[in-house]
């Protein structure tokens, strides 16, 4: 289905850069993340979790993922040790089954000649860069900011403001593209437009599928994305670009 028209006209010409979430937006990393979580749990004689169970824990960084993957009441030291275990396991398997969603490379190739592209993830920066490089997606990106680049992470807008500085594009001119309420709230906090992706795993009626505190979930419902994107090619189309990177109306290359 085509992108839904926004409630108000979108000034496409004001968009100077596009920032993508990573997991669930550009890449399907669920199986490798679940493998690493279960490696950590096995060391603690805990039963393995399903991929869907682990997917519901993802979104707010590795520490929160590990905390959710441990039994209730885990102490600070236990969480710290489990986090180190998870990161070690994940470093071994992060490119084993992880793949870009179909159409992602073509989308990025179409957008890159016209827009400054970047990634803003709650995954660690080094791991994010390693995965992007391993999948050949780094060639399209100018910047990568991870969950440990700054003391804060999404939905705090600090990472988006940092990218605005690095890309020399004001935050209100950066389109943030993501699949969860976390991305939606990050964009709103920075005064940036937001596009919701609908490929990947199933979405709730609100924005995304990561478990959110009640207040955050209610806030996400109130956030109306500029576009709802059913497939990666919808984004270039919404911005007036054809799949080969040419202007859809004039045929001029941006």
Q: Which domains does the chain have, with CATH numbers?
A: 12-28+100-238 (3.40.50.1000), 30-93 (1.10.150)
CB atoms within 10 A of CB 1: 9
What residues form DSSP beta bridges with 117?
18
Q: What is the pLDDT of residue 57?
A: 85
Q: What is the pLDDT of residue 60?
A: 77
Tokens linked to 35: 């493998």
Residues 6+ apart with CB under 8 A from 228: 3, 4, 195, 196, 198
Tokens linked to 133: 């490089």
d(CA 145, CA 149): 6
Q: What is the pLDDT of residue 229?
A: 94
Q: Report the run of H or E that residue 145 belongs to, with start and end.
A: strand 143-145
Pair 91, 85: CB distance under 8 Å: no
Mind listing the pLDDT tens digit for each residue in 70-90? 988 888 899 999 999 999 999
Low-confidence ranges of the chain (pLDDT < 70): 1-11, 201-223, 243-254
pTM of the model: 0.83
Q: Which residues are catalytic?
A: 21
Tokens linked to 93: 């398997």
CA torsion, ordered 25, 98, 56, 19, to nearest 10 deg: -20
- Residue keyed to tokens 């990161």: 87
């Amino acid at each position: 289905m085509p992108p839904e028209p926004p409630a108000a006209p979108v000034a496409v010409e004001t968009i100077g850069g596009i920032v993508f979430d990573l997991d669930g937006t550009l890449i399907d990393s669920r199986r490798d993340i679940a493998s690493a979580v279960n490696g950590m749990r096995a060391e603690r004689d805990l039963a393995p979790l399903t991929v869907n169970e682990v997917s519901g824990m993802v979104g707010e960084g590795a520490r929160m993922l590990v905390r959710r993957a441990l039994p209730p009441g885990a102490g600070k030291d236990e969480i710290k040790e489990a986090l180190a275990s998870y990161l070690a396991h994940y470093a071994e398997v992060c490119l084993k089954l992880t793949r870009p969603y179909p159409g992602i490379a073509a989308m990025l190739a179409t957008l890159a000649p016209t827009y400054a592209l970047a990634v803003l993830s709650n995954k660690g920066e080094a791991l994010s860069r390693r995965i992007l490089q391993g999948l050949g997606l780094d060639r399209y990106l100018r910047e990568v900011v991870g969950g440990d680049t700054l003391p804060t992470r999404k939905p705090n807008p600090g990472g988006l403001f940092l990218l605005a500085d690095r890309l020399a594009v004001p935050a209100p001119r950066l389109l943030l593209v993501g699949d969860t309420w976390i991305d939606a709230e990050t964009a709103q906090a920075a005064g940036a437009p937001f596009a919701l992706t609908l490929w990947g795993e199933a979405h709730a009626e609100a924005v995304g599928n990561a478990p959110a505190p009640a207040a955050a979930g209610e806030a996400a419902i109130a956030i109306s994305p500029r576009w709802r994107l059913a497939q990666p090619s919808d984004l270039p189309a919404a911005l007036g670009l054809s799949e080969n990177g040419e202007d859809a109306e004039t045929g001029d290359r941006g």
